Chain A
Amino acid sequence: MKQDVMVKEVEHVVIRFSGDSGDGMQLAGSIFSNLSAELGNEIITFPDYPAEIRAPHGTLSGVSGFQVHLGKRIYTPGDKADVLVAMNPAALKVNANFLKSDSVVIIDVDSFEKKDLEKANFTSENPFEELGLSPIQVIAAPITTLCKNAVDDQKQATRGRNVFALGLVCWLFNRPLGTAEHMLRAKFAKKPAVLDANLTILNAGYNYGSNIHASVSTYRIETLSAEKGFYTDVNGNKATAYGLIAAAEKSGLQLFLGSYPITPATDIMQELAARKDLGVKVMQAEDEIAGICSAIGASFAGCLAATSTSGPGLALKSEAIGLAVIAEIPLVIVDVQRSGPSTGMPTKSEQTDLMQALYGRNGESPAVVIAATSPTDCFDSAYWASKIALEHMTPVILLTDGYIANGSSAWKIPELADYPEIKPHYVTPDLQPGWTPYQRDEETKVRYWAVPGMEGFAHRIGGLEKDYNTSVISTDAANHELMTETRQAKIDKIAGKLPLQEIIGDEDADLIVIGWGGTYGHLCEAVEIIRKSGKKLAFTHFKYINPLPRNAGEILRKYKKAIVIEQNKGQFANHLRSKVHGFNPYQFNRVKGQPFIVARLVEEITKLMED
């Protein structure tokens, strides 16, 4: 490395790889984040890709990005980038607002010709000036040319531009190339020619960095002292799939998933379909309804059964969820929320399905609702969703969202011995004679599970109301009311089994910040920034939405002021208003399809503290 390059020591840094959706930015980004994790950085990543598989080349709508935040004590993929790789003018334009003032921008000058600039609607020949980005440091590398010079196969040269950028970024961050090479070997194991070209290009990118006399600063990022053990990189969808597998393993049940492809939930199905080695049964159904109905059938037949979907799919599944409610069978419904209504913005994230999950069914139809708080928490949440479903004979809706589903972070491979037992609520021989299917544990109101094949427990259940005592079809007025109240009580009583809601930060503050689900990282970071500035602030983040933890009301009423921050128009705030008497919080709501910007949260919370 040249001596005149300044090395910056930083706690954390945000890098964004951006280009055309066919440029391989996701691959470059994920290799870089994985190798950083392997070197001991905490990582949180977030891919931002267009809905179109291949949007018109070089246009604004076709820009695909992958952001990674590395360092110590990080909670989000970061608001703004320290380093941007922009493979074309469109990528530069789309990301212009997400750059820090002293950021480094790496561009492929070969794709910044006049025609490229026009495609991205630039009117001048100086895109930086046009965007008002003049003071930043630019590495204008002729990436396309250098790739073509590096390898003979010109097709591979063009395809390898992302790997050149990766090599250059590795130089910028003092990353040894060994790990990247190892990862490329795994990726292209079956294509030796492609592998060779990529390895050459990777080195070319790295060497270019160390040879240029650009006076950009390079970085040395602090590493963390993580808990000992084996780690892997996991995104929320994979973690959800693994959580279901873990619950099946712990409960000794066959796992069945009935599902239908839908962005951004499809990866859950794909991961489970690949897990035949672990005995998972996955059926890609003909539609969303068949997805859940086959899962209901599998649950009736004794499996840990689940279905995965996103908002529009949850709407299609509503009637069947109602069946699971009245038939009182265990079922996990994963809803990876995306921007709505209707098709909305399929690849963008939101928290707008909360009311649908809570109330989107006909009749009085209570179900458990849980919301995962981070990519890795999807594992725990899926595990707990399964545990509650099996032990309380109820459908459980697990809300994740596009942001945590696709975002990833380093994850310590869990020991299942550390997780609580799962004991499905089976019938026992002592219930005979006289057992009927809606007979309950009078304490928990949970009915007993008899699985086809068990002798002496053949029974009929279904969507019609049943008599509380005899379990036969009933339209008796008093009975229906009793059954309705019983189904509600069964759900309410689950609160007794849930962990208590905790306060993070200053319990004696005046203001409490309240969040739920996938926004945990952003809220946590914002709260930490404010507390570091010496102000007192309390924070609580909900994972159990229905029922709420039993101390929720007590906590919320303690504070002079409360603000609920969420990515919808106030659904959780209203839920709390309806469940906690007299509670009337302030709200901060955003529905932009993008993660919160921490700086904006800090501003909003601080303003409320000072009011």
Chain B
Amino acid sequence: MTTETKIYEAKDFKSPQLVRWCPGCGDYGVLNSLHKAMSLMGIAPHRTAVISGIGCSSRLPYYMNTYGFHTIHGRGAAVATGVKVANPELSVWLSTGDGDCLAIGGNHFIHAVRRNIDINVLLMNNKIYGLTKGQYSPTSDRGFVSKSSPYGTVEDPFRPAELTIGARGRFFARTIDVDMKNSPEIMVAAAKHKGTSVIEVMLNCVIFNDGIYDGIVDKEWRAERTISLRHGEKMIFGANNDKGLIQDGFGIKAVTIGENGYTVDDILVHDAHQEDPSLHLKLALMDGSDLPVALGVIREVEAPAYATEMEKQIAEVQAKKPQRTLKEFLMTGEIWEVK
């Protein structure tokens, strides 16, 4: 690829199209963070492709000044896979939501993750179907009352981290829609990772599911109910940075440093690169009740990426076989000549 020295600004990634999400929608935050993240990465808009399925989150490509493809419900991951395999040099993003990605598109999502296609998945999880006006989604909590579950749901939700790691996911991060400070950095980390990167965005739907994450993300208690993980750093949180996570038997426990004999030395150091996903999963499943919700890059493990592996295999076969045209190939088969 060419060595591009041009420095990009967030505005270079903004399309002229009028943004048409509901006022106050969490999608605005993701869009702005993405513009910023792309400017930080320094990859030209014309070398970037943003693919989406159907839903509020899937309108995002129209607001990017990159190549973009707004496809059909649930199939964004499959289309993005084709884009990346066709041209591994492109930076490929998938903009999707909990319904698009985990219900109708669940199969494509897990297989993209399993194959380790080098795409960056922005999974905007508002636990509701917004564009169809308020039905429960596969991430809605058990008992959730919605237009299609007037008496509450009788099913358990998917937890995106569990699904990602269950599908052998190598990169999982989490952020908050309005967190413009940390989201761009997390997106850059996702983009740099060679393989499928999943970012779950805790996203608020102001119309149909307003305040779903308030108990976690409100300024009032965010410091106590979330923890920002950074590779190589102690897992410390709390308004006074006086709380930390320690391993407790098979589980994780939150403790206060200086109480009950716990010192800072007892606190776990985050290792996002650990291949064994057990602890990553435990961290990712912390839900804000007893343990803080984990934000930042929870898991980031290197593994061969599909599209480059395919190109490598082609090169290996070509190194052994001289034929390059159809005719040359056919002449190596069972042939006879009529003279």
Residue positions of A touching B, CB distance < 8 A:
34, 37-38, 40, 183, 186, 226-233, 242, 245-246, 249, 254, 256, 258, 275-279, 281, 283, 285-287, 289-290, 293-303, 305, 319-320, 322-323, 327, 413-416, 452-464, 472-473
Interface 0/1 of B317-338, CB less than 8 Å to A: 1100101111101110111111
Give chain A nearest CB distance to B110 CB in angstroms.
Answer: 8
B313 CB within 8 Å of chain A = yes
A416 to B324 alpha-carbon distance, docked (Å): 14
Give chain B nearest CB distance to A457 CB in angstroms.
Answer: 7
Give the contacting residue for B49; candidates A233, A258, A301, A457; CB below 8 A: A301
B103 CB within 8 Å of chain A = no
A278/B111 in contact, CB under 8 A: no
Report 19 cross-chain contacts, Cβ distance below 8 Å, ordered by A residue: A34-B334, A37-B336, A230-B336, A245-B326, A258-B82, A278-B323, A285-B78, A289-B78, A290-B111, A297-B82, A300-B69, A413-B327, A413-B330, A413-B331, A415-B327, A453-B47, A459-B68, A460-B61, A460-B62
A-B contact count (CB 8 A): 204
Give the contacting residue for A256; candidates B66, B85, B337; CB below 8 A: B85
Interface of B, secondary structure class, is mixed
Contacting residues of chain B (25-66) with chain A, CB-CB under 8 angstroms = 44-49, 51-52, 54, 61-62, 64-66
In the bound complex, residues from chain A placing their C-beta under 8 Å from that of B82 are 256, 258, 283, 293-301, 305
A300 to B79 alpha-carbon distance, docked (Å): 9
| Extra contacts besides A37-B336, A230-B335, A286-B107 (17): CB < 8 Å | A183-B334, A231-B335, A232-B336, A246-B326, A276-B317, A278-B329, A289-B78, A290-B78, A290-B81, A293-B79, A293-B81, A294-B81, A297-B86, A323-B72, A413-B330, A458-B67, A459-B68
Contacting residues of chain B (55-106) with chain A, CB-CB under 8 angstroms = 61-62, 64-72, 75, 78-87, 89-90
Most buried by B among A38, A278, A323: A278
Give chain B nearest CB distance to A36 CB in angstroms.
Answer: 11
Give the contacting residue for B79; candidates A246, A296, A415; CB below 8 A: A296
A229/B78 in contact, CB under 8 A: no
Given contacts A40-B338, A463-B72, contact A452 B331 (CB under 8 A): no
How many residues of chain B are within 8 Å of chain A by beta carbon? 59
B19 CB within 8 Å of chain A = no
Given contacts A290-B78, A290-B111, A415-B327, contact A453 B89 (CB under 8 A): yes
A452/B334 in contact, CB under 8 A: no
A460/B338 in contact, CB under 8 A: no
Give chain A nearest CB distance to B209 CB in angstroms.
Answer: 24
A278 to B336 alpha-carbon distance, docked (Å): 22
A538 to B17 alpha-carbon distance, docked (Å): 59
In the bound complex, residues from chain A placing their C-beta under 8 Å from that of B336 are 37-38, 230-232
In the bound complex, residues from chain B placing their C-beta under 8 Å from that of A278 are 323-326, 329
A457/B327 in contact, CB under 8 A: no
Give the contacting residue for A293; candidates B45, B48, B108; CB below 8 A: B108
Most buried by A among B66, B67, B81, B89: B67
B69/A298 in contact, CB under 8 A: no
Give the contacting residue for A276; candidates B47, B318, B326, B333; CB below 8 A: B318
A277 to B44 alpha-carbon distance, docked (Å): 32
B17/A286 in contact, CB under 8 A: no
A452/B327 in contact, CB under 8 A: no
A319/B72 in contact, CB under 8 A: yes
A285 to B75 alpha-carbon distance, docked (Å): 12
Q: Which residue of B is nearest A283, CB measured?
A: B85
B72/A460 in contact, CB under 8 A: no
In the bound complex, residues from chain A placing their C-beta under 8 Å from that of B317 are 276-277
B219 CB within 8 Å of chain A = no
Given contacts A297-B82, A463-B72, contact A232 B46 (CB under 8 A): no
B86/A275 in contact, CB under 8 A: no
Q: Which residue of A is nearest B318, CB measured?
A: A277
B148 CB within 8 Å of chain A = no
B69/A460 in contact, CB under 8 A: yes
Given contacts A278-B326, A286-B108, A461-B69, contact A297 B46 (CB under 8 A): no
Q: Which residue of B is nearest A250, CB measured?
A: B326
In the bound complex, residues from chain A placing their C-beta under 8 Å from that of B78 are 258, 285-286, 289-290, 293-294, 297
